[in-house]
Structure 1
Amino acid sequence: MSEKTENAEPIVTSAEASENEVLPRLYNARCNPDGSISSGEEALPEKVAKAPVAQKSPAQWAYERVILYIQNFEKQLDNEHEAAMGFAGGDAGVMRIEGLGYFDPDIITYHGTDQSGAKTQLVQHVSQLNVMLRALPKEVSHKEPNRIGFRLAAELEEDAKKE
């Protein structure tokens, strides 16, 4: 663990320095119905990939990764389903995802509607992050499923181009 001396920068071990400079990467492995295995690294949006983890707040880092998990989950869905979230602990139920946000340094927020159609927001500390992605039938009134993960990931790319 790093120490701080009076009027000086924190003292960081070589192991901590290496860990702090790690650039994020995404790796997935899946067992396919035909018995084969698909695995490998996946490309990250520029904004996510270019900044070392140590330069991000826990909230920003969790926000970016949840978006990428939603996007990857949506890649597996047909046009009749869209992503929703189930939450562990309590009786929060399932939320159709309409948006995500974060409040530095350590809060993630999820916006959406519950199964009765009521507007819903969950505010969660990053240390309690525990989300289950679920496929729900798309809303009958919508021609196309809402792909929130792709839209939010596109925003991560746009933010990187502005910097």
Structure 2
Amino acid sequence: MGNEIDTSAEHAEAAAMPRAHEVHSDPDQPCIETAAKSLSQKPMDGKSVAQWAYERLILYIQNFEKTLDEEHEVAMGFAGGDAGVIRIEGMGYFDPDIITFYGQDQMGMRTQLVQHVSQLNVMLRALPKKAPAEAPTRIGFRLAQDLEQG
């Protein structure tokens, strides 16, 4: 504790680590900062902007799902177009700069959105789950599990 001095290598390493910060009116609201620490455990070298966007979106989805009850699932709304809202069933990236989302629109039609990372602008939404008797689908867990294995 106290005034520790970082070496220039430690300073450069810390500056290269992903950082996130949030403040919420509800102190019990899950913050992305905790989830972002898992990214700092992985090497950053060689990741494309698409992979970085993909990995951070997974963290946001998982964090959002923590706030949902058993009656809701995560969906995404897309700005700047006519895509509307997609119930998220899958997500991926194609290096160096493409992110893709798979799912169903509000009418139940199969949907895939392919988007350049420079156009990425999503809104996470809670939608009532499709079948009331089934457990809600949590895509964030599956996406994170895939990252761990890859």
Assess if the C-alpha contact under 8 Å between 1:68 and 1:149 holds in 2: yes
Mind listing any 5+ residue stretches in structure 2 that lack a counterpart?
A: 1-7
Number of aligned positions between the proteins: 139
Assess if the C-alpha contact under 8 Å between 1:94 and 1:115 holds in 2: yes
Assess if the C-alpha contact under 8 Å between 1:28 and 1:42 holds in 2: no
Seen in structure 2, the aligned counterparts of structure 1 residues 110 and 50 have a Cα distance that, compared at 3 Å, is same
Is residue 31 of structure 1 aligned with residue 25 of structure 2? yes
Identity %: 63
Assess if the C-alpha contact under 8 Å between 1:47 and 1:156 holds in 2: no
- 1:127 aligns with 118
Secondary structure at 1:132's aligned position in 2? strand
Tell me the TM-score normalized by structure 1: 0.75
- Distance apart, 1:151 and its partner CA: 1.3
- Distance apart, 1:27 and its partner CA: 3.2
Is residue 153 of structure 1 aligned with residue 147 of structure 2? no
Secondary structure at 1:155's aligned position in 2? helix
Tell me the TM-score normalized by structure 2: 0.81
Assess if the C-alpha contact under 8 Å between 1:86 and 1:95 holds in 2: yes
Assess if the C-alpha contact under 8 Å between 1:47 and 1:157 holds in 2: no
Q: CA RMSD in A?
A: 2.6
2:24 maps to amino acid: R
Secondary structure at 2:83's aligned position in 1? coil
1:50 maps to amino acid: K
Assess if the C-alpha contact under 8 Å between 2:71 and 2:132 holds in 1: no
